[in-house]
Amino acid sequence: MTPEESIALIKANLQEVLNPEIIDDVILTQKRHLKVYWGTATTGKPHCGYFVPMVKLAELLAAGCEIKILLADLHAYLDNMKAPLELIEQRAKYYSFLIKSSLKALNVDITKLTFVQGSSYQKSEAYTMDRFKLEGITRISVAQKAGAEVVKQTADPLLGGLVYPLMQALDEEYLGVDAQFGGVDQRKIFTYALENLPKIGYRPRAHLMNTMIPGLGEAQKMSSSEPDSKIDLLETPEAVAKKLKKAVCVPKKLEGNGVIAFVEHVIFRALALRTGGTPSFKVERRDAEPIVYDDIEKLKSDYEQDILTPQLLKSALTTALNELLAPIRKEFEESEEWQRVTELAYPPEVKDVKPKKQKKEIDPAKREAALAAKAAALAVKDAPSEQ
């Protein structure tokens, strides 16, 4: 791959790139591989939307990039305590298992990746001092705006949520990278980093942003906190089929269609990676020959014309997705350590059981008196009335 081809692949299939000239300078002028990091806060169980950044990471590896995956455990706690402190260590391990397995399912050589746990360096003296420097020059309104689409927003925000974007900016320096990769929902954090890292003596980085695919329900994007909007990577085949059957998929409408978006941004690119060539997406039909798509635009056109119906599309997606998830499920089922970590990372919720009200014991003497009074009242009631 020539330097120009490498640059083209790095910038391909993205919604936006900030400071692309940094990428050009590293590859064309400095003549070295681009160093990139992708971070994920280790909160809820990863869902199939994670395949969007996974396929891009695969493309970056193919372009010769050096990739660091940040398991942002402290960020998981700072985001409104989505991961309790006592669970973040185990959740980081769970994410490591699942991300590695997902990349292998995409036919990616994971020996070229480096995994870094955020708490391994974010508690150091140097990092803490730099965080203080950013806190000293950042207004609350700026911190709120930076994390608006990533950190859970409340009327009275916790301080941890305000520090979250500052730390994400600092991670670029402490991981020693040229670029950060993330979803377009991270854009405000990326622009915060571009504007503020130079103020404390650090160089700006490039930022690569993938599109965010809509959820399968009414949610705007797949989210761990919206069960109906996403499919977990370890869902059973039956659960996958059930969720896709219920997915919102308006006939002939492409805009906001989570099923179409999933086929385009996950299935087509995953199939290409797994085969090392052109994707082949088969749609079985009951009374006709199957349709095989190798071009997403043709699939979209057929959907708009109702040649490809929501029912046919959902059925084909169910088959393709279950094939993609099968090696991940198999690895989980064969790994006792992964299963043990899952139990520790996501223990079942213990519901508070209200104690039953105990009947008050009545004093025997009072009970006898009450019975005698009741009998006397009945005797008076039943007595013959005087004429």
Q: Where are the beta strands (DSSP E) in 5-111?
A: 16-18, 35-41, 66-72
Which comes out higher in pLDDT, residue 2 or 216?
2
The answer to whether residues 163 and 143 touch, using CB atoms and an 8 Å cutoff, is yes
Residue type, 386: E
Instruction: Compute the distance between CA of residue 15 and CA of residue 12 in angstroms, rounded to an integer.
Output: 9
113-164 pLDDT per residue, tens: 999 999 999 999 999 999 999 999 999 999 999 999 888 877 888 899 999 9
* Residue 358 banded pLDDT, cuts 50, 70, 90: low
pLDDT band, very low/low/confident/very high, at 326 (cuts 50, 70, 90): very high
The mean pLDDT value of the chain amounts to 89
Mapped onto helix, strand or coil, the DSSP state of residue 369 is helix
Residues 6+ apart with CB under 8 A from 202: 172, 173
Number of C-beta neighbours around residue 30 at 10 A:
10
Task: Determine the Cα–Cα distance for residues 341 and 339; give it in Å rounded to an integer.
Answer: 5
Q: Categorize the per-residue pLDDT at 224 as very low, low, confident or very high, splitting at 50, 70 and 90.
A: low
Q: How confident is the model at residue 387, as a pLDDT?
A: 43
- Nearest-angstrom CA–CA distance, 167 and 79: 12
> In the prediction, which pLDDT does 293 show?
97
How close are the terminal C-alpha atoms of the chain, in Å? 120
Using the predicted structure, report yes or no on whether residue 227 has a pLDDT greater than 70. no
Which ranges of 71-228 does DSSP label H, i.e. alpha helix?
73-78, 88-105, 125-137, 140-146, 159-174, 187-196
Burial 106-139 (b: 16+ CB within 10 A, else e): bebebeebeebbbbeebeeeebeebbebbeeebe
Q: What's the average model confidence in pLDDT over 339-361?
A: 77
The pLDDT score that the predictor gives to residue 223 is 57
Please compute the mean of the pLDDT values over residues 101-106 and round it to a whole number: 92
Of all residues in the chain, the percent with pLDDT exceeding 90 is 72
